[in-house]
Structure 1
Amino acid sequence: MEQPPPHEPHQPPPDRPRSHTVTTTTSSSFTGRFSSASSTLAYDREFLRTLPGLLMVAEIVFGLLVWTLIAGTEYFLYPVFGWVMFVAVFYWVLTLFFLIIYMTMTYTRISQVPWTTVGLCFNGSAFLLYLIAAIVDACAVTKELNSHNYNSWAASSFFAFVVTCCYGGNAYFSFVSWRSRTLQ
């Protein structure tokens, strides 16, 4: 058996026949999918006219007041207010997320998720943790603690109870929706 002679390192390898034909194709499947996906994005204006929608907007507005009133103070010196900040910011972000889901009707396209159960768990946990945070916030507000921040902390405590009531209302509506879904 004869082996081909090795080529020397300074010499290029032997020429191989190459194809000089370049084939390009264009596909509109991506643009077609993109345009069809964006055209199916729905907007539910009627959701904001329902009581759960109005409560959700109130949760966002008053929740924003809770955490901005505390964030403008030296809350980090008192661990109690750190807990209230955590609850307020955490549920504010999640409520904003759920508002977007309900406004764009994304829940109709993700049918694998039991949305009534998710809504019940979310609103129930928000009610419970906000109630604890509001009570802790109210108990921690004293004039002796820091008179400079007293008004902000007192106002945040008031709005924390308002948000708690809103989440309680939405927890009730979520329970009614969940209960009617499970009875079907």
Structure 2
Amino acid sequence: MASNTATLGNLPSGLGICTTFPDLLYFPELLFGVLVWILVACTYVVPHNPQGWVMFVSVFCFVLTFIWMCVFACGGHRNKSSWAAADFVYHFIATVFYLSASVALAKVTLDVKTNATFQVYQLDISAVVFSYVTTLLYFIHTILSAYRWKSF
């Protein structure tokens, strides 16, 4: 009888993405990423450029993570070695993007602390916290994807 679960050395498909640890991180990545997206969209900050980068990163990573999760759920990966490498590369890029966005968001939040209302400042602080949590989730997924890739 075939099992739907996968070990660290195998790429999951179907409901296996809901039972393996590195792939189980897709759901919190999506959840915290959309929270960053919503919180940044709720605030109005004068330097638009860093906020625009944060919005781009959160939307870009949300969409690509959702597509990536759907590819694995539908079993669209055939050559396991190249998909394991692509999984590592994608999560590494997402980690770097989110880290740069988190640093920019924290800098802007500190800069506008005196000019913002307390409610806007709280939203910005929440966005910074969720952004760093999302960065950590993508980083953990990157490390585990690297282990999985090297096990092939």
Query: Partners in 2 of 1:92 and 1:169 — Cα distance?
Result: 17
Which stretch of structure 1 is more off in the superposition, 118-127 or 48-57? Answer: 48-57
1:77–1:178 Cα change, 3 Å: same
Determine if the alignment matches structure 1 residue 116 to structure 2 residue 87: no
What stretches of structure 1 of length at least 5 have no aligned partner? 1-42
Whichever structure has more helix as a proportion of its residues is 2
What stretches of structure 2 of length at least 5 have no aligned partner? 1-12
- TM-score by length of structure 2 reads 0.82
Give the one of 16, 37, 46 matched to 1:67: 37
**What is residue 96 of structure 1 aligned with on the other side?**
66
Query: Partners in 2 of 1:58 and 1:146 — Cα distance?
Result: 30
C-alpha RMSD of the superposition: 1.9
Distance apart, 1:69 and its partner CA: 0.6
Query: Partners in 2 of 1:167 and 1:53 — Cα distance?
Result: 11
1:52–1:146 Cα change, 3 Å: same
**What is residue 147 of structure 2 aligned with on the other side?**
176
Instruction: Number of aligned residue pairs: give it.
Output: 137
Q: Any idea what SS the aligned residue of 2:142 has?
A: helix
Specify the structure having the higher radius of gyration (Cα).
1
Query: Partners in 2 of 1:112 and 1:180 — Cα distance?
Result: 11
**What is residue 130 of structure 2 aligned with on the other side?**
159
Cα deviations by residue, 1:77-106 (Å, 9 ceiling, x for unpaired): 521111111111101100000111111111
Query: Partners in 2 of 1:60 and 1:133 — Cα distance?
Result: 16
Query: Partners in 1 of 2:63 and 2:108 — Cα distance?
Result: 25
